[in-house]
Chains A and B, each alone.
Chain A
Amino acid sequence: MQIKPILTAMRHHKAGTILIAFQIALTLAIVCNALFIIQQRVTRVMRPSGVEEANLFAIDNQWADSASVQNVGAQIRADLTALRQLGSVQDAYATNSFPLRGWGWDNYVRLRPDQVHRTSDSAIFFTDDHTLATLGVKLIEGRNFTSSEAHDVSIKTLAAWPEIIISKDLAKKTFPDGHAVGKPLYVNSDASPSVVVGVTDTLQSHMTDSDITPFAYDAVLVPGYLLQGMTRYVIRARPGQLQAAMRDAKRALVTQSRMRIIDPKDGVRTFAQVRAKAYERDYGMAMLMGIVSVVLLAITAAGIVGLTSFWVGQRRKQIGIRRALGATRADILSYFLTENAMIGGCGVIVGILLALGINLWMVMRFEMAHLSGLYVLIAAAILLLLGQGAVLAPALRASRVSPVEATRPA
């Protein structure tokens, strides 16, 4: 091995060596944290909503006459009847919000009225007996709502709801040791509890932000039609008829009543669009981190190529001397690869310490998760491989220097 003479030679090129090692360290520190952030975001984006998203779409319907909001119950029922009769529509329900929507109601859920700390902060979805079928969510315990349980619900006179269906995750939190069906939960009122009549399989709340992650799958389904200025219809199209159903549904609603506003731009959205909107910040952040990582890696690779090319040019005579004294092309190639690996190795060690330091700061400052060692190792491997890849071309050029170079003037 040529480690000792390389180390000796490096002492004569301290500035370049330290600069490139520091660049590698900084890149490693940023890239492994960026990879970690990307992984977190991708994991969040990829998590299931519990809803069968294909063939599903939503219509945001704003009532034009705010004075008659208290009377929209009948209109909602008429709308639903019209929607469910469409040939391209399989099922539909009206609600205040739905999974992944981003905005909606959420309420503290408690087991006792005097409980100081909440058991959960759950999404509240107003629903009816068609909701589970429309969303494609399975009931794993208890029963569905009946059509007669869906009453008009006024915001001004909100009271405890007699029956509720809760999601599997909320059931586990509230009743970890037993069945939830038939048990009371305090959701909207301290005075009287709601009784759990059913438990759904996995069902995501409307919230997608990172700070609600502990409650992301906690949802309470309440039977009723909320009387407010905005009513949202969630509609399942028959397989292969999504576009037709979206067009038919909007037309049917307008036919029912023109006293409504449906935004022509994004009033009717497929669930794929809903999902994309819900996670656009995550996509954006992952993209940004990815671009930053690629740019940093490219700059570092360019730095290594530049510095090694400069060193090869500077040491052309020296390479010729080594070749004249018996070095093979492989020896010269190995010299530059070893030299770069040593600089890269130092950079990686410093980079790992820096990465852990940055992560620790982010954990304390932004409550981020602790950086997994796997990402540090992946980033270190990327940097070392990138370094060796970047040095290969100038090192090969160096190995092709003729030994006769030793006899030429410097």
Chain B
Amino acid sequence: MLKMTHLSKVYRTEVVETYALRDFNIDVKEGEFVAVTGPSGSGKTTFLTIAGLLETFTGGTYHLDNLDVSNLDDNARSKIRNEKIGFIFQAFNLIPDLNVFDNVEVPLRYRGMKALERKERIMGALDRVGLASRAKHYPAELSGGQQQRVAIARALAGSPRLLLADEPTGNLDTQMARGVMELLEEIHRDGATIVMVTHDPELAARAQRNVHIIDGQVVDLAEDPRFHSAYVAAAGQVRG
């Protein structure tokens, strides 16, 4: 579903080159629920923005749903974002001027979908996240957990092949975070491929597979000599 090979992302200024991702390799299979973890500044968000075609990369290759997306133009990238990818952001990213219904409708409008089909999909997605009754409410009238559910409904309404979640519970209290996480697990059980960036080990543990990024590279904490001792100590703490 998502395969990056020797991918790199370099930010260049006149005097310095900064590698956000370097020789980055990842392969997410269809139907997997992968948690991407790593310390701040490790490159998690850069990975997610490249995976979501929000940003271009400098080198390597990236195949999404068996399509090489390395050299697509802006319109083609927009089309893939719209049809194949669903985004769930930490800050929900709802449009405050639009009500819940209209917010969920945004990506469907860009797809050129007929009004009747849009309405069916929107109400179906809102029903799935338990907010069908709030369709006419504005984001400011909802709690954080409800706003994130709307964002999930917006991501689901387009039936994407891949769901990308960037710290989806980062702005929520524990109870709301639990609810959102359960919803993501339910969506995964229904067959969705989910890649979730998080720094929360508890959330990461609920994913099928964990991928760790450090200094812009995917590392195996158990095998990499740089992190082996720290990993063993941490694992011991968890077991204890």
* Residues in chain B near residue A322, CB distance under 8 A: 95, 106, 110
Interface secondary structure of A, over-half rule? helix
Q: Give the docked Cα–Cα distance between A330 and B79 (Å).
A: 12
A406 within 8 A of B: yes
- Given A5-B105, A8-B97, the answer on whether A409 and B91 have CB atoms closer than 8 Å is yes
Residue from the set B45, B95, B154, B166 with the largest chain A CB neighbour count within 10 Å: B95
The interface on chain B, measured as residues whose beta carbon lies within 8 A of the other chain's beta carbons, has a size of 32
Please name the residue on chain B nearest to A1 by beta carbon: B109
Q: Mark B69-88, 1 if CB is under 8 A from A, else 0.
A: 00000110011011100010
A49 within 8 A of B: no
Choose from B48, B75, B109 the contact partner of A328 (Cβ within 8 Å).
B75
B38 within 8 A of A: no
Contact A8 B99 (CB under 8 A): yes
- Report B163 CB to chain A, min CB distance, Å: 13
- Report B53 CB to chain A, min CB distance, Å: 8
Q: Mark B151-167, 1 if CB is under 8 A from A, else 0.
A: 00010000000000010
Contact A9 B97 (CB under 8 A): yes
For window 318-352 of A, CB contacts with B under 8 Å fall at 318, 321-331
Q: Give the docked Cα–Cα distance between A403 and B110 (Å).
A: 14
* Residues in chain B near residue A407, CB distance under 8 A: 45, 48-49, 54, 89, 166
Q: Give the docked Cα–Cα distance between A407 and B87 (Å).
A: 10
* Residues in chain A near residue B87, CB distance under 8 A: 324-325, 406
- Report A75 CB to chain B, min CB distance, Å: 87
- Given A321-B93, A329-B74, the answer on whether A9 and B98 have CB atoms closer than 8 Å is yes
Q: Give the docked Cα–Cα distance between A260 and B55 (Å).
A: 90
Please name the residue on chain A nearest to B138 by beta carbon: A12
| Other A-B pairs, 8, CB within 8 Å; known A5-B109, A325-B81 | A2-B109, A318-B97, A324-B54, A326-B110, A327-B82, A329-B74, A403-B81, A404-B54
Residues on B facing A (Cβ under 8 Å): 45, 48-49, 52-55, 74-75, 78-79, 81-83, 87, 89, 91, 93, 95-99, 102, 105-107, 109-111, 154, 166
